[in-house]
Amino acid sequence: MRPETSRAVLVVNGASRRGAAAAATAERLMRAQGWRELEVHRLEGGADLPATLGAAVATAPDLLVVGGGDGSLSCGAGAVAGTEVVLGVLPLGTANDFARTLQVPGDVPGAVATLTAGHVVDIDLGRVGLNPYLNVASIGLSVGVTEKLSPRLKKRLGPLAYPVATLAAYRAHQPFTARLEFPDGDHPTLELEDLLQVAVGNGRHYGGGNAVSPTASLDDHLLDVYAIVRGRLRDHVSIARLLKDGSFVDHEKVHHVATRRVRVVTEPDLGVNLDGEIAARTPADFTVERNAVHVVVPVHSAAAVLDGPGPSAASA
């Protein structure tokens, strides 16, 4: 984008792992790179984020830069979805899986440089009901992990907080049953028992670098749905070894399908984790909005292309 002729808004969630420390640096770098018409919002926490982002988009800037973790960026994506406002990514969280998928640099100077030197693509947006998400929405173990991931633990351990929290959540996990219904009729209904986790992926990465599946993409207009049966400890160990490349979906204890929408009903009703935020409960409807979000990425990124919205799952 051309900063000398564009208007930008920078919104930083100060409660994210590096948000408070990086806000001033990001603003200074943007102004140094020529963003003359720049409006800045430094928030103390996430409570004011939806209203601030909504108000920013209402002014129709060319670029909305969101600084924070994956939850903050999902909120930003939901705010710009269906508009001409381009999302800029400033990864300041613990996992930064959305930035990893797009190959946006994890350091502040590199991420800010991408805003000027990168190019714009469009990507899919997942939703649970009306709630947006970019990476993965999940039920079961991941909700326990999110509950164990205290801000203190994330700030102290960084990405290492994930395996520590996962071990604690695994010890306390209670198995559940789930029914997966496919409104488009592309798959038969799945009745599953004794589950560890159900996940519905829109993007490629989650959990600090794990892959949803070997073929998962932010630009394939599909949701990757997987369910992991609790099984035995040795099953979990063998699955864990395959998380980084996503090949765990071929494990005998894993059910995996790709679809445009799915309804998940569980017994008991459970919370749904959307990119690190517990923001919904089952029963829940998961859909994908094709190419709903414009985002600026590095020139070398192959994560997505600019090819227009096309039909969405909701309208098809």
DSSP 76-111: HHHHHTTSSPEEEEEE-SSS-HHHHHHT--SSHHHH
Q: How far apart are the first and last CA of the chain?
A: 33
Residue 180 buriedness (CB in 10 A; 0-12 / 13-18 / 19+): buried
Contact assessment for residue 136 and residue 201, using Cβ atoms and an 8 Å cutoff: yes
Exposure string (b/e) for 16-27, b if CB count within 10 Å is 16 or more?
A: bbbbbebbeebb
Distance CA 250, CA 242 (A): 10
> Among the options 44, 181, 277, 289, which is catalytic?
277
- Active-site residue 277, yes or no? yes
Contact assessment for residue 81 and residue 104, using Cβ atoms and an 8 Å cutoff: no
Q: Is 174 left (phi over 0), alpha (psi -120 to 50) or beta?
A: beta
Catalytic residue numbers, as ranges: 277
